[in-house]
Amino acid sequence: MTETPTRPQPAAATPPEEADPFEVFNRHQGQGVVIDPYPEWAELRRKSPVHRLSIMEMMGREGPAMPGMSSEVYMPLTFDGVTEVLRDGQTFSSSGYARTMGLVMGHTILEMDEPEHSRYRGLIQRAFTRKSLQRWERELVRPLIRQRVSAIRAAGQGDLIRELTFPFPVAVIAGMIGLPEEEHAAFHRLAVELIMIAYDPPLGMRASQSLKEMFGRLLEKRRAEPTDDLTSVLAHAELDDIRLDDEAIFAFLRLLAPAGAETTYRSSSNLLYGLLHDPEQLEALARDRRLIPQAIEEGLRWECPLTTIMRTTTRDVELEGVAIPSKCTVGVNMGAANRDPARWEEPDRFDILRPQRPHVAFALGPHTCMGMHLARMETRVLLEELLDALPGLRLGDDAEDAPITGLTFRSPGRLLVQFDP
């Protein structure tokens, strides 16, 4: 494997009938090629807290930017700089997503600024109440995870990525939405193709339309006969005389698809990688389950699944002593912020016992990830079920290391494990 490069190579063309969208997306994100971008980010941080970069350089791509995207980006790399951007939605707007992801998702809270953002977030938040999370854990998350862990137990060994962390989050999201099980595989494929808009715009647009048709069939049924799934909640929710029309619901469900499936799969995989490569910490977790919450937070800090998000300046501004003109793209590097040595001692070290301090893996401010409580719950259940069913969990004797890789989205390629009988 290439030694610690920091830029992915162009993906080889694959005939459409043979293309695996998951592999194609991962190749574009530098999986298997970008091994560890953190040393480069640390070196940049030592030189300046904010850097002006080519956006293609930042994304690891060659050629022109996609339509609507700036050619350059200002990238804050410190915790203080990143949190300043995320808290100030007036100066650092989210509206730029309308020209990129908005092309395939529609008008979502991802691209909304205040006051529109708060109104719609308040309406949609009703689908993520504590009562709903408790029911989803009981009826959906735990049964799905237990079923897959039991299959690994029965086989005597397994790959925790392909057999567990990759498939279960999308099954959870699809189940929450109310999609029938026979549509789950197509839903997952379309969710990945949707966010390939930056690399293959026609594919992203086709996926957007296909998801609309899939959701449209379900929404028609739920408007007439609501159940307790998320689509029914969105179809009938009302706040200050505002109700979501069909297009707004389609947009939110399109956003939920990759946000809920891709990031949870990667964050839980990264945490398991850290634990399995440090048996003492895994054993400490097995002995004391009270460590699970802080292990989850350390995994998110150490290797957040999505390293960078975008903002656009609405005025000339100075950030950490660096002048940024109005209407410029800001690449908010949460991955670098979570390893800022000014905030964490030995930040590159995975340590579930370190003193806990808030991180920015779920962003911060008005656009803090709406699904963060769901993601934490899913990961907690995952750890509980693994520790209960697979005593002595460890890396397989013959397992070759498949490190955490990627640039914007990061995760390991496989985690081959064995356990005590």
Angle at CA 26, nearest 5°, toward 24 and 31? 130
Mean pLDDT over residues 75-100, rounded? Answer: 96
H helices of 88-237, in order, are 102-105, 116-124, 130-136, 142-155, 167-177, 184-194, 201-224, 230-236
Total number of residues shown for the chain: 421
**Residue 3's pLDDT is what?**
33
The pLDDT value recorded for residue 95 is 95
The pLDDT of residue 222: 95
Q: Report residue 242's pLDDT band, with 50, 70 and 90 as the boundaries.
A: confident
Where helices occur in 178-322 by DSSP H, the ranges are 184-194, 201-224, 230-236, 246-276, 279-287, 292-302
> Sheet harboring 92-93: ordered strands across?
50-54, 72-76, 329-333, 308-313, 92-93
Query: Would you give the end-to-end CA distance of the chain in angstroms?
Result: 34
Residue 381 has pLDDT above 90, yes or no: yes
Adjacent-strand bridge partners of 54 = 72
In one letter, which amino acid is 214? M
User: Residues of the chain with pLDDT > 90: what percent?
Assistant: 69
Using one digit for the tens of pLDDT, what is the confidence trace for 157-202? 999 999 999 999 989 999 999 999 999 989 988 988 888 887 888 9
Residues ≥6 apart with Cβ < 8 Å to 112: 94, 95, 120, 121
pTM of the shown model: 0.90
Asked if pLDDT for residue 4 goes beyond 70, the answer is: no
Sorted by where each starts, the structural domains of the chain and their CATH numbers stand as 30-415 (1.10.630.10)
The predicted structure's pLDDT at residue 36:
94
Kindly report the average pLDDT of the chain as a whole number.
Answer: 88
pLDDT, one tens digit per residue, over 279-316 is: 999 999 999 999 999 999 999 999 999 999 999 999 99
The answer to whether residue 14 scores a pLDDT higher than 50 is: no
